[in-house]
Amino acid sequence: MANRRNSETHARGNSARSKSMGPVRSCLVDNNNMEKTFVEKSSLEAYGYFFDRGKLVSLENGRPFQFNAYPHDEDNQKRYHAIGRLVDNYIYGLLENECHLRRIPIPVDARTGEPTSFFFASDNFLDAENLMIIIHGTGVVRAGQWSRKLIINENIQVGSQLAYIMKAQELGFAVIVTNTNLNIDESSRSIHQRPRFIRGSESPEDHGCYIWENFVRQSSARHICIVAHSYGGAVMLEMASRYTSDFDKRVLAVALTDSPMKAYIKRAHPNVLRILRKRTINWVGSKSKANTNLGDREYGQIRSAGHTSHEWTSFTSFLAVFQFIKSEFSQIQRYKNTT
């Protein structure tokens, strides 16, 4: 779904860009021949890549991304991370331009010079009756991503959250896309100094709870769905633990993808587990067919994601996740119609 939207938006621009990139290609070839160590660049094109119909490919020959560009692994790793940061910004642009979300800075009362973070949300997220909160896992991923590795090596459809966002919007949900891994000031003036933590986003859990405290609690949403991958389950659990009553009243469904909840629930309050158990499914890595019931746990049901690789589980469980959400929503609608 996201690929079709991306191709419509970027195909024309990429075609025009390709025609005008002749000198840049020549420069890239010369630079690659001359450079023996990594030098950071300011754009994907400067590295010789661009997104074509959602896939990162070479400007020179259209081939997929190649990790090895320098003699030393350290330089290749630096290059990979630098390209990854540019991919972050590219995905941010898609959230704004393709999904029509807006970037919301936090903390809400930031002082001059204070480091800030942000998340993305629909224009109507404070007024909508139905709200979906999307939470990625830990590591280098940022808002809009399930897996940076899959975005770079496969495509945007597989590794990003765009399909989830667009489907949620299609079903009438406003959307919040969290950015739980942006915890410190990453500006150039601070990267060589002691880390400056962002108030309210010092950790992924703090970030999620800051959004709940300052935005979700103030919203009109009566029906909330949470979709969380991997460590996003821990963030969801902290939300449920800190805002138990509000969570119980308004959260309709919790869809997890390969979240190791057994490790996270060890200190969870029994009442929180009771609340989760009646509305949570965790699609885990498995060889079984997607959506196969694999049993019950203290916090809810587990089902197969239809893939054994952790980073693929959000993509392969997409249809099952929305089948679950639509089913839970239908039950609410039927209850409303009989009362």
Q: What is the pLDDT along the chain (339 residues), one digit of tens a residue?
A: 444 444 444 443 444 343 334 433 433 433 444 467 899 999 999 999 999 999 999 999 999 999 999 999 999 999 999 999 999 999 999 999 999 999 999 999 999 999 999 999 999 999 999 999 999 999 999 999 999 999 999 999 999 999 999 999 999 999 999 999 999 998 755 556 788 999 999 999 999 999 999 999 999 999 999 999 999 999 999 999 999 999 999 999 999 999 999 999 999 999 999 999 999 999 999 999 999 999 999 999 999 999 999 999 999 999 999 999 999 988 887 766 666
The answer to whether residues 135 and 154 touch, using CB atoms and an 8 Å cutoff, is: no
Catalytic: 7? no
Report how far residue 135's alpha carbon sits from residue 161's, in angstroms, rounded to the nearest whole number: 10
- Cβ burial of 242 (10 Å; 0-12, 13-18, 19+) is middle
Q: Taking the C-alpha atoms of 154, 204, 237 and 87 in order, what is their torsion angle to the nearest 10 degrees?
A: -20
Cβ contacts of 182 within 8 Å, gap of 6 or more: 117, 118, 142, 143, 198, 201, 207
Catalytic residue of the set 117, 147, 160, 230:
230
Query: Listing from the earlier edge strand, what are the strands of the sheet with 223-229?
Result: 102-106, 117-121, 174-177, 130-135, 223-229, 251-257, 280-284, 300-304, 293-297
φ, ψ at 111 (rounded to 5°):
-85, 160
Report how far residue 247's alpha carbon sits from residue 239's, in angstroms, rounded to the nearest whole number: 8
